[in-house]
Structure 1
Amino acid sequence: MTAPPASDPMFSIVILTLNEEQNLPATLASIRDCDDIVVLDSGSTDRTHQIARAAGARVVVNRFENFGQQRNFAHTDIPFHHDWVFHLDADEQFTPELFAECVRLSSENPPALDGFFVAPRMIFRDRWIPRCTDFPAYQARFAHAKRFRFIQTGHGQREAPDMRLGKIQANYLHNLSAQSESELLDKHLRYARQEAAAFLARATDPAPLNRRIRSADPLIRRRALKELSHHFPARGFLRFLYQYIARRGFLDGAPGFAYCRIMAKYEHWVSQEIHRQRRARAST
């Protein structure tokens, strides 16, 4: 059988932004070899647009509804120069290994796959903290623009159920060091409200959840356990025990302890928001 012809060896990159003048230069520097960079902005009022254009990126503005909608808008409304697109955030950077892998996969253009999972290396206080961030926690980031679609879930997004995905072993960097602890806490408080609303909107069937918890796929298992955890009391304390003790986050040093403490607060806020939103629904 004759192999299919090689496709365009390069890929496009889309970066979601909102007032990212502090983070964007490092992100753009990490992808300077890409010939098609699009900054998809939600209405920045700082120098985000000027910084992007100075680096040779195109700027497209679209009102932000949620991450799933914004990433799908990129696929349906932005004329990318290449078939394959990597979704990047402004506090994330490419590694040389990831860039080379994306070039290779773009050239192969696998017809049996719509996208790829990629795991971030979380950097906090200038240190990689793999244990307390469940590394590798895969996310769908490298996608065929014409075939791939996202759905919104909680405060983020995931792949639509019928998407066919592979895994890339190289990683990108998610740098939390540029944000102060108070900024991270403010962001996770917003996330907690969205996570609680998404949980209450889902009608969960216990039987499929039980099957997913026993799945051989670690990604399916992780998502099922997260869904199950919403039913537990003292979720913040349990999250801290899981990340810091069970996952050996204590080996990530002082940054690991600080990160686990922030995530424990986040889980506590999610529980509070679930109860608050339930009471609000019951009173209407």
Structure 2
Amino acid sequence: MTSEFSFIVLTYNEEQHLPRLLNSIVKLNAPLFVLDSGSTDQTLKIAENFGASIKYNAFENHPKQWDFALKNFEVKTPWIIGLDADQIVTSELFDLLAKFKDEHHKGINGIYFNRKNFFKGKWIKYGGYYPKYLLKMFRTNIGFSDINENMDHRFIVPGSTTVWKKGHILEENLKENEISFWINKHNRYSDLVADEEIERMTALRTQTIKPKLFGDPNQRKAFLKKLWWKLPRFVRPFIYFGYRMVFQLGILDGKTGVLFHFLQGFWFRLIIDVKIEEKLKHKS
């Protein structure tokens, strides 16, 4: 078994996705930890068959779930890789991990993987969705989950990071092939984001990451979020959707891609603004 890194995976009724992910990493022979939030399907049996150490924690949101996982699993390797159950490690990334040595990464505390996102079987290549760098690998007891976010979970590390541009993970939630699932899921997410933004308005919540336009991928995202919060509600979804379609070439993603950009870049953002307005009126 490798002594370089361990995998942690969050699950909830992932029998459709988990075998796909675990088969893509099993030959790395790395310790595997699974944090479940109450699966009622075959998820836990699948995890057990792959030799996973399993814990349970009631789900509140993704950042807090990851925070629990990082604090409660007894990881003994110097590095952790945090993956979602609907992701797959590609052969390119597999090769990078198979050759990975901690001694070759002195002074580095985190590694960004490049993600390809799929919707209804279509790779979303444009609209700002590729390349998309996610901090997924980090030093044990140094990387942590940003619990100042309600929905948009990310890992944070102090110090230097590096980006593996050719090390791809594929992300495709097959449940979202049913549009009702996608809408119900993002309707729940919109409540989390609306509550979070209201707390930011009243300084009850601040950004953990320092916003920086020309910083690392997380710093750039923090900068864009700070800009987003300053834009007028109900106008910003139109601006953002137009920007994704025209300047980020989302129109080139075809019918399925345009549907994704409309739902994720416009509909979802508009619903958040509506809920912020409703919640503010309720408070007053």
2:39 is the alignment partner of 1:44: yes
Letter in 2 for 1:246: F
Q: Shift of residue 161 of structure 1?
A: 7.0
Worse-matched range after superposition: 109-118 or 266-275: 109-118
Runs of 5+ unmatched residues, structure 1: 1-7
TM-score (norm 1): 0.85
Contact 2:117 2:129 in 1 (8 A): no
1:196-275 to structure 2, matched below 5 A, reads: 196-202=194-200, 215-217=213-215, 219=217, 220-230=219-229, 231-232=231-232, 233-263=234-264, 264-275=266-277
Structure 1 segments (4+ residues) deviating >6 Å:
none
After superposition, the Cα gap between the structure-2 partners of 1:279 and 1:164, relative to the gap in structure 1 and judged at 3 Å, is farther
The counterpart of 2:94, out of the listed 88, 99, 102, is 99
2:159 and 2:193 map into 1 onto residues whose CA distance is 23
Letter in 1 for 2:23: A
Contact 2:109 2:157 in 1 (8 A): no
1:1-284 to structure 2, matched below 5 A, reads: 10-35=4-29, 36-108=31-103, 110-152=105-147, 153-160=149-156, 162=158, 164-169=160-165, 170-179=167-176, 180-202=178-200, 215-217=213-215, 219=217, 220-230=219-229, 231-232=231-232, 233-263=234-264, 264-282=266-284
Contact 1:10 1:82 in 2 (8 A): yes
Q: Secondary structure at the match of 1:31?
A: helix
1:276 and 1:24 map into 2 onto residues whose CA distance is 38
After superposition, the Cα gap between the structure-2 partners of 1:194 and 1:254, relative to the gap in structure 1 and judged at 3 Å, is same
1:160 and 1:126 map into 2 onto residues whose CA distance is 30
Q: Shift of residue 92 of structure 1?
A: 0.7
Deviations 1:253-273 (A, max 9, x none): 122111012111101111112
Report the counterpart of residue 3 of structure 1 in structure 2.
none
1:76 and 1:161 map into 2 onto residues whose CA distance is 15
1:72 and 1:214 map into 2 onto residues whose CA distance is 24
Contact 1:123 1:177 in 2 (8 A): no
Runs of 5+ unmatched residues, structure 2: none
After superposition, the Cα gap between the structure-2 partners of 1:9 and 1:253, relative to the gap in structure 1 and judged at 3 Å, is farther
CA RMSD of aligned residues (A): 2.6
1:102 and 1:125 map into 2 onto residues whose CA distance is 29
Report the counterpart of residue 5 of structure 1 in structure 2.
none
2:98 and 2:44 map into 1 onto residues whose CA distance is 27
2:19 and 2:224 map into 1 onto residues whose CA distance is 37
- The number of equivalent residue pairs is 271
Letter in 1 for 2:143: F
Contact 2:62 2:150 in 1 (8 A): no
TM-score (norm 2): 0.85
Letter in 2 for 1:271: D
Letter in 1 for 2:226: E
Worse-matched range after superposition: 116-125 or 175-184: 175-184
Deviations 1:214-245 (A, max 9, x none): 73237333432233224333333223212222
Q: Shift of residue 111 of structure 1?
A: 3.6
1:161 and 1:147 map into 2 onto residues whose CA distance is 6
After superposition, the Cα gap between the structure-2 partners of 1:82 and 1:214, relative to the gap in structure 1 and judged at 3 Å, is closer
Q: Shift of residue 74 of structure 1?
A: 2.3
Deviations 1:121-158 (A, max 9, x none): 00122221121243223222111122211212130223
2:158 and 2:96 map into 1 onto residues whose CA distance is 24
1:250 and 1:225 map into 2 onto residues whose CA distance is 22
Q: Secondary structure at the match of 2:146?
A: strand
Contact 1:235 1:271 in 2 (8 A): no
After superposition, the Cα gap between the structure-2 partners of 1:77 and 1:109, relative to the gap in structure 1 and judged at 3 Å, is farther
Contact 2:212 2:223 in 1 (8 A): no
1:106 and 1:157 map into 2 onto residues whose CA distance is 27
